[in-house]
Structures are given as C-alpha cells and as structure tokens.
C-alpha cells in the first residue's frame, strides 16, 4: 500500500464525526488511526469503498459467524449480548490481534464486497424531499434511486413515519421509521407527495433481499450497538421481498444516461442518492454528477441527496454535526432542505421562507 493511500486511510479512521451511534467503532477507529499494520490492511479494500465501514463490517461478519469466542467478540453486544464489555483500552489491541490472525479471511471479504449498508431510516429523507417539491411537480414523477443496494429505500411508499411525534405514511406497515425533529421548523406534511409514475433503482451490485448471504452481510454492516436498526432492516427486507421494484445493474456513470434515454420525454423526474457518492472514487465523482444531471436532458429534474456535511453550515453556530439533505431544482437552483443525522435519526429542517 503506498504512503498516500495509507495517509488517506488514516484520515478516514481519524474522523471524529464518524460512527456517532457506535462508541465501540469510535474507539476502534481511533486505535486503527494510530496502527500502520491495521491501516495497511484496511487500505486494501476495493477502490472508493469507505475503508473503516468495510473493515469493521468484515470483522463483524467473521465474529458473528465464525469466531464468537474470540476475545474481541466480548465487546460486541451482537455476539456477547447484554454482558458485552463497554469499549475500553483493551478493545483496540483485541482488534489488532484478531485482524493479524485472520488477515486472509478479512481480505477475502474486503476485496470482494461493497459497502452496501441499507439504512431504512433514510427513506424519511426521500419523503421530506418529495414533500418539498410536491407543489412544483407537474404530471406524474419518475423516481430513480442511485445506489439502492437491496432496495429498502425504493419501498419508501410502504412504510409508516413519525417525525417530531406526528405520524405519516402507512401506519399498519411492519416498518415504522421514527425520527426526532430538532430546531424550530415544524414537520412538513410527509403525505403530500407528487404523483409517482414509476420507481426504479440503479446499483453497481443490486442485492436480493431473499438471499441469506446478503442478509448476513447487511446485518454485519449494522454497527453493533444499533439493535433498533437491525430490527428495522429485518422487517424492511420482508417488505422488499414482497414488493417488486425494477433495479438496473450498472455503474451510475453509464447506467443513468441509458436510463435517461428511455424515460418518457418531458416527464418530471426525481433522483435520490444517500451514502452512494461517498463510495465513488474521487476521480470519478465529476462523471457521476454529470451522469445524474443527464437525467434532466429530456425532462425537468429534481435531484436530492444525503452524502455528507454541508461545505458551510447554514445554521447558527452550535448546531449538531450532521449531513446535508440537498436539493437541486430543474432551474439549477440549489438549496439545503435539512441537516440530518447521517442515518436520519434526527432531522433539523431549515427555513425555506
Ligand atoms: C452504502 S450503500 C447505501 C445504500 C442506500 N442508498 C442507503 O442509503 O441506505 C451504497 C450503495 O451504492 C452502490 N454504488 C456505489 N457506487 C456506485 C456507482 N458508481 N453506481 C451505482 N451504484 C453504486 C453500492 O453498490 C451500494 O449498494
């Protein structure tokens, strides 16, 4: 691994804003950032794949299914249950020992798998963006999600939602997404959506919700403390298995222009992606953006995304750190609709007045 890549990997593990809901992963990430052997291991994943999420997912998968008695597993509530140790100074060295002992097995995972974490909770970002444009869209909307993984966000119309204590969507759905509302803006009406014509997904590697191997990998990608997300994932996989949706296999850079060519001319279209562009290698991101914009070649395009912090935080100082829910309208105007916890556990809507 060259020195550049090692340092980029160190910067990722050293980011203090990562893993906000996992004290264990924050502790382990701090440790990895100081350990060149572990950084070199983590740096060998597939290009663009976020190395900390990929390494920790691989380790978690091995602990869950092959090494539940390893000393490292004692820190994982998913393996050790309620008696799991709180992360302390022993966790980092235990990770190091595990990684050095099982290096080949880890590489077999990180060199072949993608970070395909599917956060059902992010569907609420889709509802917020659709509600924000409901008055602007004329005619039925073509919905496209880029990086849909196993397609849980593609079933955004099948879930119930609570935002700031107000209920929306399907109250009888087995999947109920609940997000805290932060700040002074009231919850928008998440049931006021444009009429949707078609819902389609695009992914490098679309996953089958019925495949056991897929379910195990997606479960391993959920951070160990997040039992609520694991439960939501399991339920949403059930909904996905029962709700067919069209998914195109391919790199967005080629797949989106091809999709643009088959959309009904002049039809309104909405594209969404979350935690997808961050896994596109840096040198391909301009091409990724151009491919998304090509969807607007033959009709008005609304483009919403959740991909990381805003360059300049639009809020007064002191807000919770979070990602920006961005919107680009057909006239090219860009705005930030909300600052959100990266997994959409909380939402701070920004004033549009
Ligand atoms: C971390 S997952 C996020 C899944 C989902 N969007 C969510 O927010 O829960 C990223 C997904 O993007 C896909 N992906 C990454 N690069 C891509 C590309 N260039 N074109 C299409 N899909 C891509 C991956 O295969 C993966 O399924």
pLDDT for the residue 237: 98
pLDDT (average), residues 40-50: 93
Q: Which residue's CA is the closest to the ligand 1 atom numbered 4?
A: 118
- Cβ atoms of 122 and 344 within 8 Å: the answer is yes
pLDDT for the residue 225: 97
Q: For 75-125, write each residue's pLDDT tens digit.
A: 999 999 999 999 999 999 999 999 999 999 999 999 999 999 999 999 999
Q: Using the atom order of ligand 1, give the atom closest to the CA of residue 119.
A: 9
Is the confidence at residue 332, as pLDDT, over 70?
yes
Query: Ligand 1: distance of its center to the CA of 74 in Å?
Result: 31
Mutate which of 126, 159, 203, 345 to test ligand 1's pocket (most atoms within 8 Å of Cβ)?
203
C-alpha to C-alpha distances, 77 to 4, 65, 68, 142, 329, nearest whole angstrom:
35, 14, 11, 42, 44
> Ligand 1 within 6 A of 110 CB?
no
CA dist., res. 208 & res. 230, Å (int)? 17
> Ligand 1 within 6 A of 203 CB?
yes
CA dist., res. 343 & res. 191, Å (int)? 21
Minimal CA–CA distance to 26: which of 111, 95, 99? 95
pLDDT for the residue 48: 87
CA dist., res. 237 & res. 263, Å (int)? 28
Indicate the pTM of the whole model. Answer: 0.96
How many beta carbons lie within 10 A of that of residue 86, not counting itself? 10
Q: How confident is the model at residue 290 (pLDDT cuts 50, 70, 90)?
A: very high
Q: For 55-75, write each residue's pLDDT tens digit.
A: 999 999 999 999 999 999 999
Minimal CA–CA distance to 340: which of 130, 205, 183, 150? 183
CA dist., res. 307 & res. 301, Å (int)? 19
pLDDT for the residue 353: 61
Both tokens of 90, joined, read 């022993």
Query: Ligand 1: distance of its center to the CA of 47 in Å?
Result: 13
pLDDT (average), residues 238-263: 97
**What mean pLDDT, rounded, does the chain reach?**
96
Both tokens of 21, joined, read 């809901």
Query: Ligand 1: distance of its center to the CA of 187 in Å?
Result: 28
Q: Strand 166-169 vs strand 160-163: parallel, antiparallel, or unpaired?
A: antiparallel
Q: How confident is the model at residue 307 (pLDDT cuts 50, 70, 90)?
A: very high
> Ligand 1 within 6 A of 275 CB?
yes
pLDDT (average), residues 127-134: 98
Is the confidence at residue 128, as pLDDT, over 80?
yes
Both tokens of 351, joined, read 């004033």
Query: Ligand 1: distance of its center to the CA of 280 in Å?
Result: 9
pLDDT for the residue 289: 98
pLDDT (average), residues 283-300: 97
Query: Ligand 1: distance of its center to the CA of 190 in Å?
Result: 25
Q: Which residue's CA is the closest to the ligand 1 atom numbered 2?
A: 116
């Amino acid at each position: 691994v060259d020195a550049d890549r090692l340092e980029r990997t160190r910067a990722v593990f050293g980011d203090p804003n990562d893993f906000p809901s996992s004290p264990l992963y924050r502790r382990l990430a701090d440790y990895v950032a100081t350990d060149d052997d572990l950084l070199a291991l983590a740096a060998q994943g597939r290009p663009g794949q976020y190395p900390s999420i990929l390494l920790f997912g691989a380790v978690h998968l091995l602990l869950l299914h092959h090494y539940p008695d390893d000393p490292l597993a004692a820190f994982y509530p998913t393996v050790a249950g309620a008696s799991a140790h709180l992360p302390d100074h022993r966790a980092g060295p235990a990770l190091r020992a595990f990684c050095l002992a099982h290096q080949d097995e880890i590489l077999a995972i990180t060199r072949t798998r993608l970070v395909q974490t599917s956060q059902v909770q992010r569907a609420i970002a889709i509802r917020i963006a659709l509600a924000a444009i409901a008055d602007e869209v004329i005619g039925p909307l073509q919905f496209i999600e880029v990086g849909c993984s196993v397609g849980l966000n593609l079933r955004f119309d099948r879930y119930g939602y609570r935002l700031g204590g107000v209920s929306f969507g399907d109250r009888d759905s087995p999947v109920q997404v609940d997000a805290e509302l932060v700040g002074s803006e009231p919850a928008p009406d998440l049931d006021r959506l444009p009429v949707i014509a078609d819902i389609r997904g695009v992914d490098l590697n679309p996953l089958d919700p019925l495949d056991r191997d897929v379910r195990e990998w997606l479960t391993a990608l959920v951070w160990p403390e997040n039992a609520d997300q694991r439960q939501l994932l399991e339920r949403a996989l059930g909904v996905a298995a029962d709700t067919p949706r069209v998914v195109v296999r391919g790199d967005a850079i080629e797949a989106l222009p091809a999709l643009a060519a088959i959309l009904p001319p002049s039809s309104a279209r909405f594209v969404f992606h979350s935690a997808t562009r961050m896994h596109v290698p840096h040198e391909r991101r301009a091409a990724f953006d151009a491919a998304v914009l090509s969807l607007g070649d033959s009709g008005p395009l609304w483009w919403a995304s959740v991909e990381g912090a805003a360059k300049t935080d639009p809020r007064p100082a002191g807000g919770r750190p979070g990602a920006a829910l961005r919107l680009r309208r057909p006239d090219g105007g860009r705005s930030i609709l909300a600052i959100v916890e990266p997994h959409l556990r909380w939402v701070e809507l920004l004033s549009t007045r």
